[in-house]
Copies of this chain bind each other. A is one copy, B any other.
Amino acid sequence: MPFDFTLEHLDPQTAARAGRLRCAHGEALTPAFMPVGTAGSVKTLTPDELRAAGADILLANTYHLSLRPGEHTVRALGGLHRFMGWSGPILTDSGGFQVMSLSTLNRVTDNGVEFRSHLDGAKRMLTPEDAVRIQDDLGTDIAMSLDELVEWPAEPEIVRRSVDRTLLWARRGLEERDRLRQQGRGAMALFGINQGSVVADERRRCFETLGAMPFDGFALGGLWVGEERSLGLDRVEEDCAMFPSDRPRYLMGVGHPVDLVEAIGRGVDLFDCVLPTRNARRGTVFISSGRLVVKNAAYARDTRPLDPECDCYTCQKFTRAYLRHLFAAGELLAMRLTSIHAVHHMVQVVRRAREAVLAGRYAAFRAAFVERFASGEALAPSPA
């Protein structure tokens, strides 16, 4: 099997872990932040820039790629890695989240999700078997099982039904991978997703069954959907306590630096989120001391880099004044330069977290990180 996860160190005071994923396309250190390459491109950036920013594993969206250019085209062109020029590990989602959020007229049954493409309105179906087959066609390193998402808040019976369906689909996804493997395909890892919304009992009930299935890793689904941060973090702590320690844990869609640091302290290994890069393209970036809205006129003559403590390409080469000008002028270079910082910053957060785990001082790291982020230092524009 080309997939392997090694746990290298456990922090003595928290649940934080340092590990290493080995995939067919190379290694990724954990905790890891995966930049999101929705349609086979992390928006505005080249694979070389992602690598230079420190990223060693990406996420790509199955829904987008299966609609355009289509998984058969990607497969014919040698798979997603070759298609987009990224040689490192790739994790793909199941397509379920976008099917339910982007497409119109979707209808969920035990068989799968019927939906209309948001591109051309064509009627389509996504079953748990499809999700696994499409991800195999894309040539992913880590595939996700199809799960059913529920809105938040949801009625108890809705949550219960979604757990049952998620478990049914999880089993069918694993069976589909077995069939693929009998055909000499399906070498990818497959992760199961724990569901149950923010309801502790339902999440526990879900994992009693899910945890007994031969998944290569487990994801925490149905969180960060609008609930209180502390509530979400409680569910993270409980899920991680149930999850087997020898397999990676992935908190889907979480991307605020403070949330990452808190979730790592509760035992999470993998993260992805469009938030840092989407904000960046709109002129706002996270820096070590807070959230900087660089497109504001107040920075028009500020000659400091975005983050005086950052050593990314953008912070080494360009001033806030220049970036602010590029945003004001509608120049695309603005989005690129802030995106480079955004990816680099998130990767630095998880790298420093990892070093803290290895040094056995995660609790102190977390406290200092949260305090520094709240400080707002260096956010005020410099006197012109």
Contacts and interface: CB of A to CB of B under 8 A. Distances in A.
Given A40-B325, A321-B77, A322-B83, A69 B300 contact: yes
A359 B336 CA distance: 41
Nearest to A77: B321
Copies of this chain assembled into the complex: 2
Contacts of A333: 41, 43-46
A85 interface: yes
A106 interface: no
Interface in A33-48: 39-41, 43-48
Contacts of A48: 317
Interface in A14-59: 39-41, 43-48
B45 A77 contact: no
Contacts of A321: 69, 73, 77, 83
Interface in A302-336: 303, 317-319, 321-322, 325-326, 328-329, 331-333, 335-336
A44 B337 CA distance: 10
Contact of A68 (B39, B301, B325, B384): B325
B41 A318 contact: no
Interface of A: 39-41, 43-48, 64, 68-69, 73, 76-78, 83-85, 300-301, 303, 317-319, 321-322, 325-326, 328-329, 331-333, 335-337, 384
